[in-house]
Amino acid sequence: MTSEKEKMLKGELYSYNDNELITDRTKCKTLCFEYNNTNFSEIERRSELLKKILGKVGSNCLIEQTFQCDYGYNIEIGDNFYSNHNLLILDCAKVTFGNNVLVGPNCSFFTPEHPIDVETRNSGKEYALQIKVGSNVWFGGNVTVLSGVTIGDNSIIGAGSVVTKDVPANVIVAGNPAKIIKYL
């Protein structure tokens, strides 16, 4: 029998009220609370906590407090990653970041999707689609990236953008929804 967690990880419809998933979220949110309440000067402690929270952490990674995520184990971060304050990642599906990624303040990455059908949605079921971010990507402040999106290498996402579709490599996108405004 397939568990709700296995369904979630496969991108299938699953119950987010499942006890195993609630336990996983509680563990992750407890670690995020500890991370967010660690003194800024405790760089090594913060680094240790990120390694406990995230599925993969490259070298030279810094996430300014506050940081929130659902599970943590679905997040993979490459080398030279920096995020300013208030990073939110709803990682019901995998979220991967390449190397040399800069994330401005108040950015959000959302993998869960709720069914359009009201009865299914009200039953406590959802599904999630992964987000992939290439290398050398810069996100301005207040950017939201929605589920199923892939962002190509060397691209820039303008402040305040809502990214609803894939972004090719070597472009600047901005707006709501984000559209290409310049080729690099």
pTM for the model stands at 0.97
Give residue-wise pLDDT tens across range 102-144. Answer: 999 999 999 999 999 999 999 999 999 999 999 999 999 999 9
Catalytic choice (45, 52, 56, 114): 114
State how many domains the chain has.
1
Q: Which residue has the tokens 């069914």?
A: 115
Q: Are 166 and 147 in contact (CB under 8 A)?
A: no
Give residue-wise pLDDT tens across range 1-54. Answer: 899 999 999 999 999 999 999 999 999 999 999 999 999 999 999 999 999 999
Range of the domain at 137: 4-183
Q: Is 114 designated active site? A: yes
Q: What is the 3-state secondary structure (H, E, C) of the chain?
A: CCCHHHHHHHCCCEECCCHHHHHHHHHHHHHHHHHHCCCCCCHHHHHHHHHHHCCEECCCEEECCCEEECCCCCEEECCCEEECCCEEEECCCCEEECCCCEECCCCEEECEECCCCHHHHHCCEEEECCEEECCCCEECCCCEECCCCEECCCCEECCCCEECCCECCCEEEEECCEEEEEEC
Smallest CA-to-CA distance from 102 within 73, 42, 143 is with 143
Give me the mean pLDDT over the 77-90 stretch. Answer: 98
The CATH number for 47's domain is: 2.160.10.10
